[in-house]
Amino acid sequence: MVTSRLWSVVIVAVLFVGCAPPRTTLRSINTVRAGSSRSGGPVQPGARAIRMGPTCEALEGERGVGVLHVRARDGAWESRCFRKTSRSIGRPNGGRLEGGETLPPAGPGWIQKGRNAVGTNEGIALLLASIEDVRARYPGTVPIRIGDLSREDGGRLRPHKSHQSGRDVDIGYYARGNRALRRFEKMTAETIDASKTWHFVERLLLTGQVQYIFMSYRIQEVLYLTALDSGWGEQDLRGIFQYPRGHQAKRGVIRHAKGHQDHLHVRFRCPASDTDCTP
Ligand SMILES: [Zn+2]
């Protein structure tokens, strides 16, 4: 396991210039937002075809360094290096985790309750990068509430079916009025802070590393409308939301699943170098 201190020391952000990352399978998040000046371009970070900045190169070979690419707010690419210790093995519903990283119980912008706080290095880095982004956009925001990730070595974690291979994480919604949640709370159009929650979800999606987000259909509707308002086009959102095609439609990254009115569940893609990971 890697401690938070180590994490913060080894995550080095450098500007990433001139990269031509490989294609993404999530076409819609490549597109430029309507009315925005962001340039388009593939979002898929992928571990190959990556030109590392000098700081990343200095770390390489020491003990295994991973690199992730995230889209900064101005549309530029940013690469992040981290020590790679984790291996996600098998499926989320029947797998395990080796060398996972523990998310500390609290940090800037988040609170995690419970013992099952271990995930892949990639998942934790992407999650914290997205939270960091919310804090930049909403200074003084209450922390987001994080629930289960995986157990230390992964494997069965009741009452979940998945959460076995370090790629799943349960996360509470942001409530209106910057109200802190004491536990996961069922949200409605009236109680959820849709703008802040969508901002968070959008940042996660722009990493190109999210396979699914499980979210109640009713909450999807709220965030869908918020996304439209913020400049996304209907066409762009088709690949992102299952809404409005009905809660059983097998379309979109964001899917309905029972019990997700009080939290969303993010499943990250298999980390590029985890060859035993099963999507
Ligand atoms: Zn879950």
Residue 40 pLDDT > 70, yes or no? no
Look at 35-39, 101-105, 196-200, 217-221 and tell me which has the smallest mean pLDDT.
35-39
Tokens 């959460």 sit on residue: 163
- Tell me the C-alpha distance between 274 and 30, whole Å: 25
pTM: 0.80
Q: Please write the tens of the pLDDT for every residue from 147-202.
A: 999 999 999 999 999 999 999 999 999 999 999 999 999 999 999 999 999 999 99
Higher pLDDT residue, 150 or 62? Answer: 150
For residue 261, the CA-to-ligand 1 centroid distance in Å is: 12
For residue 209, the CA-to-ligand 1 centroid distance in Å is: 17
Residue 5 pLDDT > 60, yes or no? no
92 in the Ramachandran plot: left (φ > 0), alpha (ψ -120 to 50) or beta?
alpha
Out of 39-48, 73-82, 149-158, the most confident range is 149-158
Ion ligand 1: residue ranges with CB closer than 5 A: 170, 265
**pLDDT of res. 127:** 94
For residue 147, the CA-to-ligand 1 centroid distance in Å is: 8
For residue 94, the CA-to-ligand 1 centroid distance in Å is: 14
For residue 166, the CA-to-ligand 1 centroid distance in Å is: 11
Residue 22 pLDDT > 50, yes or no? no
For residue 35, the CA-to-ligand 1 centroid distance in Å is: 35
Architecture of domain 4-268: 2-Layer Sandwich (3.30)
Average pLDDT of the chain, as a whole number? 81
For residue 163, the CA-to-ligand 1 centroid distance in Å is: 7
pLDDT > 90 in the chain, percent:
66
Residues pairing with 17 in the sheet? none
Higher pLDDT residue, 109 or 83? Answer: 109
**pLDDT of res. 28:** 31
Q: Where are the domains of the chain?
A: 4-268
Higher pLDDT residue, 237 or 20? Answer: 237
For residue 158, the CA-to-ligand 1 centroid distance in Å is: 10
Instruction: For the chain, list the strands marked E by DSSP.
Output: 12-16, 65-71, 77-83, 87-91, 94-98, 101-102, 106-107, 110-112, 118-119, 144-146, 168-172, 210-214, 254-255, 263-268
Look at 38-52, 99-113, 131-145, 229-243 and tell me which has the smallest mean pLDDT.
38-52
For residue 34, the CA-to-ligand 1 centroid distance in Å is: 32
For residue 213, the CA-to-ligand 1 centroid distance in Å is: 10
For residue 78, the CA-to-ligand 1 centroid distance in Å is: 29
Residue type, 31: T
Model confidence band, residue 63 (pLDDT cutoffs 50, 70, 90): low
**pLDDT of res. 25:** 29
For residue 279, the CA-to-ligand 1 centroid distance in Å is: 16
